[in-house]
Chains A and B, each alone.
Chain A
Amino acid sequence: MKRKLLSALLCASMVAVMLVGCGNGDKKADEPKADEPAAAEEKGDELIKVGIINNDPNESGYRTANDKDLKEFFTEENGYEASFAYSLKNDEQIAAAQKFVTDGVDYLLLSAADTAGWDSVLQDAQAAGIQVILFDRTIDASEDLYAASIVSDMDKEGETAATWLKDQALGEYNIIHIQGVMGSAAQQGRTKGLNDMADAEGWNIITQQTAEWNAEKAQQIVQSEIDKGTKFNVIYAENDDMAKGAVAALDKANITHGVGKEVVVMGFDCNKWALEELLNKNWNYDGQCNPFQASYIDEIIKKLENGEEIAEKTIIMEEKGFDAEEITQDDVDTYGI
């Protein structure tokens, strides 16, 4: 009896929570509606409904900057009504996409956690007349299923970094390679760049381990190499956090790093603090991964709204690689995220 009562209570509280949740949602939707006529009259058109599926903004500084950029751009002042869904898991993202399709958004903006498994939901979207725009990450699906894809060319990021490393003309290359979450586009592209160059130049990759974007795992991996007594002179970490973890292990073992030191440290993403490490010559290289995609997306949507054709489906953003010897304070302020 007691148990039944308890479960009934629990159910009741869950329903209550859901109602509160929905209540809030309604409020959010309602409030703008109250002002909407005025706003709409001024602009003379309705708000464009966009459903944005992104990775968890806490994943990294890059993602935080990306989410912030999108949130700041897709506002009612700019003529958008945006809903956001976050997950690092592909299946949860697909479920969110299905929900957005059911809700009848005008545009579905998608940064996929994984490249596979998107066909059916995108077909549903197409059937419902929803335009899909991919940002930041590509997927393995037919080009017909989306209107445009705004991406960083991860392969090129890896290639740029590897070419930079080659230009350093080190006597020998013994590389610790710390990878991101296996299977993500960033990991694949950045790994490919290094692997290709290492094969061509005969570089020695001592270890190739995934730290899953986690600084502490990277620290343990490098610590293990130090304990083992292996000689290495390059750390190629696929994001800044992991490079930071690697450097923490180096510091503990009194291995110098940075410009003109024992170990060359390379990171990606251009976090502000990472660029400052470059400025202080503690690191050597940081590859940019441009998180500011909202304006690119907006441009596409404007074109589609005006009935224009998108000539080139894949739009590649401009990205740089920074060298510690050339970086300036201006670069840190402009490109740091």
Chain B
Amino acid sequence: MKKNNFLKDLVGRQIFIPIAALLVLALFNLIADPAFFKITLGTNSTGDPVLSGYLITILDYGSELAILAIGMTLVTAASGGQDISVGAAMAIAGSVTLKVLCGSNTRPETLQAPIIVGFLVAVIVAMLFGAFNGVLVAYFKIQPMVATLILYTAGRSIAAWINNNELPVISDPAFAYAGGFIPGIPIPTTCIIAAVCVILIVLVMKFTALRLYTQSVGINESSARLNGLNPEMIKILAYVILGVCVAIAGFIKVSRLSTINYSVIAKDIEMDAILAVALGGNALSGGKFNMGASILGAYVIQFLTTTLYKFNVPSAALPAYKAVVVIALVVLSAPTVKDKLSGLGKKLKSGKQGKEGA
């Protein structure tokens, strides 16, 4: 009986959806090829130790998405809408980083500024763009998707314009650390960065009222105001935090290859970020949220992508598989289906109880 309760509790929890999805994928891979879970310690071309294997690949390439999912969850919860400009904003952030580091020379022998400065400038710029989106949403009451459509459309051109349409290439190996490995540390740096971000947001939510405020604004703006909150500021704050996430993710992206390509960098990542939030079982109309579920959702998406690559599924078909996931999610979370399912659950339960009684 107790076990039953535990199970029910688990199924009822929001985080159940991404965990279930993860388990299904893991099980599928385990059956198809147990070597999927093998992790080996090798060396890279500079002779430093590195971990490799599918699981590492998933954690590595899922990092940007996980970081974005943090910000996207807050934006979704606070403003009841999504920011579709994150991909374009990442292009801007990456472009700014490269501009600061390269100056006017696109192929610098030595960097014009310390790497951290390039990163921090990108953070500030991305926060400003986030604030821009936030102001449009909070004060001008424009629907988030429409408001961020502006930057979605213009962002990549802005990114190209920052570097005069040229494609800088950085040859300093230190710049590639963020997207690869720091010598001596076998764990991909991207995983470490993602972990730091997750810990930071967990601490922030534990020690500040961010979660409470965001949720109350998302659930009912006017009652939040009556309780002395400033809904506008909280919405803008959510977009600014997303801006920070965008800058970090953008930095990782340019660091991976030490260069940028404005039209394809982080392409369509906004849709994946939104999907991560949805996979986490969060209501896309705002209100209550579960940060952990969103982050897990991001890794589920990467897990799916990596699995499909492993089975040589044409990469052009990846979006179709993601669409299947979306359909399944939407159907499962539709009220009518939910009612039916819970009705079915009750029936089963009463049937069982009847048997137990007999």
CA distance A253 to B35 in the complex (A): 17
Q: What CA separation (Å) do A217 and B264 show in the bound complex? A: 10
Asked if A210 contacts B263 (CB within 8 A), the reply is no
- Which residues of A in the span 208-225 have a Cβ within 8 Å of any Cβ on B? 209-217, 219-221, 223-224
Tell me how far the C-beta of A206 lies from the nearest C-beta in chain B, rounded to whole angstroms.
9
Known interface pairs A60-B261, A214-B261. Does A221 touch B315 (Cβ–Cβ under 8 Å)?
yes
B224 interfacial contact with A, CB 8 Å: no
With both chains docked as a complex, state the minimum distance between the C-beta of A4 and any C-beta of chain B, in angstroms. 13
The interface residues of chain B lying within 8 Å CB-to-CB of A241 are 261, 264
Number of interface residues of B (CB under 8 A): 44
Instruction: Write the chain A residue with the least CB distance to B262.
Output: A58
Q: Contact mask B206-227 → A, CB, 8 Å, 1/0? A: 0000000000000000000000
Nearest CB on A from B236, distance (A): 19
Least distance between A264 CB and chain B CB atoms (Å): 16
Q: Is B306 at the interface (CB under 8 A from chain A)? A: yes
Does B267 sit at the interface, judged by CB under 8 A? Answer: yes
Asked whether, in the complex, the Cβ of A251 is within 8 Å of the Cβ of B44, the reply is yes
Digitize A180-191: 1 where CB-to-B-CB distance is under 8 Å, 0 elsewhere. Answer: 001000000000
Residues 209 to 249 of chain B near chain A (Cβ within 8 Å): none
- Residue in B141, B167, B257 whose CB lies within 8 Å of A248: B257
Contact of B312 among A88, A209, A226 (CB under 8 A): A209
Interchain CA distance A203-B52 in the complex, whole Å: 28
Residues of B within 8 A of A227 (CB): 52-54, 57, 310
Given A58-B261, A226-B52, A256-B45, does the pair A182, B316 have CB atoms closer than 8 Å?
A: yes
Interface of chain A: mostly helix, strand, loop or mixed? helix
A58 to chain B minimum Cβ distance, whole angstroms, is 4
| In the bound complex, CA of A211 to CA of B309 (Å) | 11
Partner of A253, one of B47, B52, B261, B312: B52
Asked if A195 CB lies within 8 Å of chain B CBs, one says no
Task: A264 to B141: give the CA distance in the assembly, Å.
Answer: 56
Complex: A250 Cα to B309 Cα, angstroms: 17
Q: Are B310 and A217 in contact (CB under 8 A)?
A: no
Give A292 to B143 CA distance when docked, in angstroms: 45
Is residue B15 contacting chain A, with contact meaning CB distance below 8 A? no
Is B165 a contact partner of A64 (Cβ separation < 8 A)? yes
- Verify if B42 is at the interface (C-beta below 8 Å from A): yes
Query: Which one, B43, B140, B156, contacts A58 given CB within 8 A?
Result: B156
| CB nearest neighbor in A for B166 | A64
The listed residue (A229, A244, A250, A253) touching B257 by CB distance below 8 A is: A244
- Closest A residue to B318 using CB positions: A217
Known A6-B141, A207-B312; judge A214-B264 contact (CB<8 A).
Answer: yes
* Inter-subunit contact A210/B57 (CB<8 Å): no
A57 lies within 8 A of chain B by Cβ: yes
Complex alpha-carbon distance, A207 and B312, angstroms: 7
Q: A214-B267, A215-B261, A256-B45 are in contact. Are A248 and B256 (CB under 8 A)?
A: yes
A251 to B45, CA, bound (A): 5
Report if A209-B156 is in contact (Cβ < 8 Å); known contacts: A253-B52, A254-B45, A273-B107: no
B264 touches A224 (CB 8 A): no
Is B169's beta carbon under 8 Å from chain A?
yes
Judge whether A254 and B167 touch: CB under 8 Å.
no
B316:A58 contact, CB within 8 angstroms:
no
- Closest A residue by C-beta to B171: A273
Closest residue of chain B to A60, judged by CB? B261
Q: Is B129 an interface residue (CB 8 A)?
A: no
Report the bound CA distance from A67 to B157 in whole Å: 15
A228–B316 CA distance with the chains assembled, in angstroms: 20
Q: Which residues of A contact B251 (CB under 8 A)?
A: none
A-side contacts of B157, CB under 8 Å: 58
Indicate if A28 sits at the interface (CB-CB under 8 A).
no
- Whether the pair B50, A252 counts as a contact (CB closer than 8 A) is yes
The residues of B that contact A252 with a CB separation of less than 8 Å are 44-45, 50, 52, 180-181
B259 touches which one: A219, A226, A244, A272 (CB < 8 A)?
A244
Q: Does B61 contact A (CB under 8 A)?
A: yes
Cβ of B160 < 8 Å from any Cβ of A?
yes
When the two chains form their complex, are residues A210 and B141 in contact, meaning their CB atoms are under 8 A apart? no
B263 touches which of A88, A219, A254 (Cβ 8 Å) = A88
Is the CB of B288 closer than 8 A to any CB of chain A? no
Q: Which chain B residues border A245 with CB–CB below 8 Å?
A: 257
Given contacts A58-B160, A254-B43, contact A219 B314 (CB under 8 A): no
Complex Cα spacing A214 to B265, Å:
7
Q: Contacts A58-B262, A248-B257 known; A217 to B43 CB distance under 8 Å?
A: no
Q: Which residue of the partner chain B has the closest CB to A182?
A: B316
The answer to whether A220 and B309 touch (CB under 8 A), given A209-B315, A215-B257, A227-B53, is yes
Does B99 sit within 8 A of A, measured CB to CB?
no
Bitwise, B27-64 to A at CB < 8 A (1) or not (0) is 00000000100000011111100101110010001000
Residues 222 to 245 of chain A near chain B (Cβ within 8 Å): 223-224, 226-229, 241, 244-245
**Chain B residues near A214 (CB, 8 Å)?**
261, 264, 267
Q: A61: CB under 8 A from chain B?
A: yes
The reply to whether the CB of A92 lies closer than 8 angstroms to some CB of chain B is no
Decide if B42 touches A254 in the complex (CB within 8 Å). yes
Shortest CB distance A67–B (Å): 8
Task: Please tell me if the beta carbons of A59 and B263 are within 8 angstroms of each other in the complex.
Answer: yes
Further contacts, 15 of them, CB under 8 A, given A64-B166, A216-B257: A6-B140, A58-B261, A209-B312, A212-B267, A212-B315, A212-B316, A216-B256, A217-B315, A224-B57, A241-B264, A248-B256, A250-B45, A251-B45, A252-B181, A253-B52
List chain A positions with a Cβ less than 8 A from chain B.
6, 10, 56-61, 64, 88, 182, 207, 209-217, 219-221, 223-224, 226-229, 241, 244-245, 248, 250-256, 272-273
7 contacting pairs across A/B (C-beta < 8 A)? A59-B264, A182-B316, A214-B267, A215-B261, A216-B257, A219-B256, A227-B310
